[in-house]
Amino acid sequence: EPEVTQTPSHQVTQMGQEVILRCVPISNHLYFYWYRQILGQKVEFLVSFYNNEISEKSEIFDDQFSVERPDGSNFTLKIRSTKLEDSAMYFCASSGGIINTGELFFGEGSRLTVL
Amino acid sequence: AQTVTQSQPEMSVQEAETVTLSCTYDTSENNYYLFWYKQPPSRQMILVIRQEAYKQQNATENRFSVNFQKAAKSFSLKISDSQLGDTAMYFCAFMIRRGGSEKLVFGKGTKLTVNP
């Protein structure tokens, strides 16, 4: 069964460093998302991406964040200068296949730890 | 703004028994979708069940069913004949579909433990 894959599963970085989280969405999907979950808190929407551009972003998604679909298969989230409060689990998701039921398919997440 | 509230941070149930997880939401929209997602330990979230707001009939998926009360903005999940594999975090989520965006708003989750 097709699935969303994310790398790395866990990344530890120093504050101020750049981080790129990678995702391979399901191949025939059209909508792509990043969500994050700070430990013990709810899953929060960061950004949605459709037709090669951001369709919606949350207040969390400030200028330090960017997304890219560089090669038609990968979907990346870049944090330019990480802060301690960026420590969280980051989930990629995709949706909108041939039969679009509205279901989002999630990856297993990338745990980011900022020291 | 849409909000989703899950008032039960943790619940437990004996194997083979029935448990109900509660969820309420707030929106001024009329057409929307509601979901329950399950997140087993160290695994990705997977869809358990979905409900379109325009449908009056409650969704059912094998042992999982919902009680959707649109006027009360309530969307509870009932798990019948609970199994050990049902142990997970359960997230209630709300979605409005607009062109180019299908954003989910999640509740804080309910940690369900099924005891043998």
- For B40-63, how does the pLDDT look when each residue is reduced to its tens digit (9 = 90+)? 887 788 999 999 988 889 999 999
Q: Quick one: pLDDT at residue A70? A: 84
Q: How far is A26 from chain B (nearest CA, A)?
A: 14
Highest mean pLDDT: which range of A61-70, B43-52, B97-106: A61-70
Which residue is it, tokens 């330019």?
A80
Tokens of B15: 């194997």
> What's the confidence (pLDDT) of residue B76?
97
How much is the pLDDT for B84?
96
Rounded mean pLDDT of B4-26? 96
What is the domain extent for residue A43? 5-114
Contact of A97 with chain B, judged by CB distance below 8 Å, is answered with no
- Partner-chain contact A45 B103, CB within 8 Å: yes
**What distances in angstroms separate CA A9 from CA A80, B55, B111, one per listed residue?**
19, 39, 22
Domain count, chain A: 1
How many CB pairs below 8 Å do chains A and B form together? Answer: 61
Q: Which positions in chain B touch A50 (Cβ < 8 Å)?
A: 100-101
Mutate to test the interface with A, among B44, B46, B50 (most CBs of A within 10 A): B44
Q: Given a cut of 70, is residue B101 above it in pLDDT? A: no
Which domains does chain B show, CATH number per domain?
3-115 (2.60.40.10)
Q: Do B100 and A4 touch (CB under 8 A)?
A: no
Q: Would you call B102 and A95 a contact, using CB atoms and an 8 Å cutoff?
A: yes
Q: Is the pLDDT of residue A99 over 70?
A: no
Contact B102/A102, CB-based, under 8 Å? yes
Tokens 């050990």 belong to B84
CATH of the domain at A74: 2.60.40.10
Residues 6+ apart with CB under 8 A from B55: none
Average pLDDT of every residue of chain A: 91
pLDDT at B1 over 80: no
Residue B99 has pLDDT above 70, yes or no: no
SS (H, E, C) A78-115: EECCCCHHHCEEEEEEEECCCCCCCCCEECCCEEEEEC
Confidence of residue A83 (pLDDT cuts 50, 70, 90): very high
